[in-house]
């Protein structure tokens, strides 16, 4: 116990994070058969939220030390310093509260507290990044000086300048991000040559939406705008490629009502994203979406027949998100063989798979797939999260050609997840035009 007390606060937090992660592994590995599935998923969700907040504590301690502690060492406590401390503490507290609004504050329209908390989370990410970058530059500068400048006043002066610059950049980027995030999605038109596409399907219009994330910061009003924009495109087929919702049906039943107004000549289809499984309510969502005339593709496919030739059709297939298997969600998990059952190699196959990794695996298994439509990455949504999204996905954003005749399109998402901001990315609704090749 005495040895534990001597550890630094950061190391204690890291050990706490490791303990939470260990409990998640234990509950998923050894308690899997002894806990009812819904209870298990809810336990995992709570564990995940605790893990995220414990990991955030490390960043919060870093921000606190860089923005508050060094100031306290410069001079006696002052009224301004006390106010600054209070502001930083409130800012960090709100950022930590953001994820818990997923459980506590979800309704037809976003709650103000949830919007403020998630905005603080976005600013938290930006501030942490710039404090770290400027800190690294400061260390490099000190190494170059090799100890020639050691005056405390000069070092403290640099610290003040560094913190001021980091805070100023954070404020500016937060405002820009909020303005960009509030803009309606762009309409992105993509023409894709499809091998073996029947002439009767030439110029067929498929509208792709994804990553709407109805929940704490996205509600009915924003969804109504999306539905109106999609209908104005007069699509033949509408596809929703996952992460539509972030909560249970009972919380969002009213918010998703605008989806019943979606209009397409040949149907509207949906596949799950990882966030649908986080809701622990996928089967109820399937039933509710069907009542809104949206057809879930649960490792299955639908034949889309031409309106001008009854002998022409394409195979529209959809797979469950790959994270269903990681979470051991009962009855769910990516099953490409089942999804493509009845789709031959001579058919035009369009596959809906939420994550780009699933798109890569699918094309490795079935290179005859003509087109895979994915989302998930948000185009990074906001810098610096862009870096992680780019490195962790085989396809990041936009159109990719794979092999001789296969394509992958990864949308940047139709709205955003949680943080109501966009930096170095833009929300989009994708108008895909299939062309015979």
What are the structural domains, with CATH classification, of the chain?
2-181 (no CATH), 184-436 (3.60.21.10)
pLDDT band at 27 (very low <50, low <70, confident <90, very high): low
For residue 147, the model assigns a pLDDT of 53
Find the mean pLDDT for residues 219-224. Answer: 96
How many other β-carbons are positioned within 10 Å of the β-carbon of residue 414? 29
For residue 40, the model assigns a pLDDT of 63
pLDDT band at 8 (very low <50, low <70, confident <90, very high): low
| Closest C-alpha among 224, 143, 186 to residue 414 | 186
For residue 239, the model assigns a pLDDT of 98
For residue 134, the model assigns a pLDDT of 86
Give pLDDT tens digits for 227-243: 999 999 999 999 999 99
Q: Is the pLDDT of residue 10 over 90?
A: no
Q: Which two tokens stand for residue 183?
A: 């803009």
For residue 425, the model assigns a pLDDT of 94
| Cβ within 8 Å of residue 189, ≥6 positions away | 431, 433
Dist CA 333 CA 319 (whole Å): 8
Find the mean pLDDT for residues 396-408. Answer: 93
Dist CA 64 CA 237 (whole Å): 51
Give pLDDT tens digits for 340-378: 998 888 889 999 999 999 999 999 999 999 999 999 999
pLDDT band at 140 (very low <50, low <70, confident <90, very high): confident
pLDDT band at 4 (very low <50, low <70, confident <90, very high): very low
Q: Is the pLDDT of residue 76 over 50?
A: no
Q: Is the pLDDT of residue 382 over 80?
A: yes
Dist CA 163 CA 292 (whole Å): 51
**For 328-335, which contacts have Cβ atoms below 8 Å and span 24 or more sequence positions?**
328/28, 328/32, 328/40, 329/37, 329/41, 329/277, 329/282, 330/37, 331/283, 332/272, 332/277, 332/282, 332/298, 334/299, 334/358, 334/361, 335/299
Task: Report helix, strand and coil shares of the chain as percent, to nearest 5.
Answer: 50, 15, 35
Q: Contact at 8 Å (CB) between 213 and 245?
A: yes
More confident residue, 28 or 434: 434
More confident residue, 225 or 102: 225
Q: Indicate left, alpha or beta for 89 from its phi (over 0: left) and psi (-120 to 50: alpha).
A: alpha
Q: Contact at 8 Å (CB) between 406 and 363?
A: yes
Q: Contact at 8 Å (CB) between 356 and 379?
A: no
Q: How high is the mean pLDDT of the chain? A: 87
For residue 341, the model assigns a pLDDT of 93
Q: Is the pLDDT of residue 207 over 90?
A: yes
Q: Contact at 8 Å (CB) between 282 and 298?
A: no
Q: Which phi and psi (to 5°) does residue 176 adopt? A: -60, -45
Q: Contact at 8 Å (CB) between 321 and 271?
A: yes
Give pLDDT tens digits for 256-275: 999 999 999 999 999 999 99
Lowest mean pLDDT among 165-169, 314-318, 431-435: 165-169
| Cβ within 8 Å of residue 286, ≥6 positions away | 296, 298
For residue 327, the model assigns a pLDDT of 80
For residue 326, the model assigns a pLDDT of 83
More confident residue, 24 or 347: 347
Rg (CA), the chain: 25
Dist CA 379 CA 208 (whole Å): 15
């Amino acid at each position: 116990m005495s040895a534990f007390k001597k550890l630094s606060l950061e190391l204690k937090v890291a050990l706490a994070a490791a303990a939470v992660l260990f409990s998640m592994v234990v509950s998923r590995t050894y308690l899997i058969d002894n806990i009812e599935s819904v209870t298990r998923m809810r336990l995992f969700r709570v564990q995940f939220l605790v893990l995220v907040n414990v990991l955030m504590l490390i960043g919060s301690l870093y921000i606190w030390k860089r923005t508050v502690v060094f100031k306290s060492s410069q001079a006696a406590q002052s009224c301004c310093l006390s106010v600054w401390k209070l502001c930083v503490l409130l800012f960090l507290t709100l950022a930590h509260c953001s994820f818990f609004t997923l459980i506590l504050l979800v309704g037809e329209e976003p709650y103000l507290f949830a919007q403020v908390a998630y905005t603080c989370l976005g600013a938290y990410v930006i501030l942490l990044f710039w404090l770290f970058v400027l800190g690294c530059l400061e260390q490099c500068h000190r190494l170059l000086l090799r100890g020639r400048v050691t005056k405390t006043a000069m070092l403290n002066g640099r610290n003040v300048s560094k913190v001021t610059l980091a805070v100023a950049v954070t404020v500016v980027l937060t405002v820009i991000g909020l303005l960009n995030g509030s803009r309606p999605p762009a309409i992105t038109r993509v023409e894709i040559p499809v091998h073996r596409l029947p002439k009767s399907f030439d110029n067929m219009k498929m509208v792709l939406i994804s990553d709407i994330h109805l929940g704490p910061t996205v509600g009915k009003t924003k969804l109504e705008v999306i539905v109106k924009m999609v209908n104005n495109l007069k699509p033949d087929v509408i596809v929703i490629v996952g992460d539509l919702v972030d909560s249970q049906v009972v919380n969002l039943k009213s918010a998703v009502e605008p989806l019943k107004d979606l209009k397409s000549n040949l149907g509207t289809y949906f596949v799950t994203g990882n966030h649908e499984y986080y809701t622990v309510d996928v089967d109820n969502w399937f039933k509710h979406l069907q009542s809104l005339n949206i057809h879930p593709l649960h490792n299955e496919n639908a034949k889309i027949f031409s309106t001008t030739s009854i002998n022409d059709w394409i195979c529209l297939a959809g797979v469950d998100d790959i994270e269903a298997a990681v979470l051991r969600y009962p009855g769910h998990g990516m099953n490409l063989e089942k999804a493509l059952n009845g789709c031959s190699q001579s058919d035009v196959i369009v596959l809906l798979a939420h994550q780009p990794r699933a798109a890569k695996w699918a094309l490795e298994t079935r290179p005859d797939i003509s087109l895979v439509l994915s989302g998930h990455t948000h185009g990074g949504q906001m810098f610096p999260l862009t870096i992680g999204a780019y490195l962790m996905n085989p396809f990041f954003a936009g159109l990719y050609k794979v092999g001789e005749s296969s394509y992958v399109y990864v949308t940047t998402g139709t709205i955003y997840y949680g943080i109501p901001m966009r930096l170095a990315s833009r929300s989009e609704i994708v108008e895909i035009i299939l062309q015979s090749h």
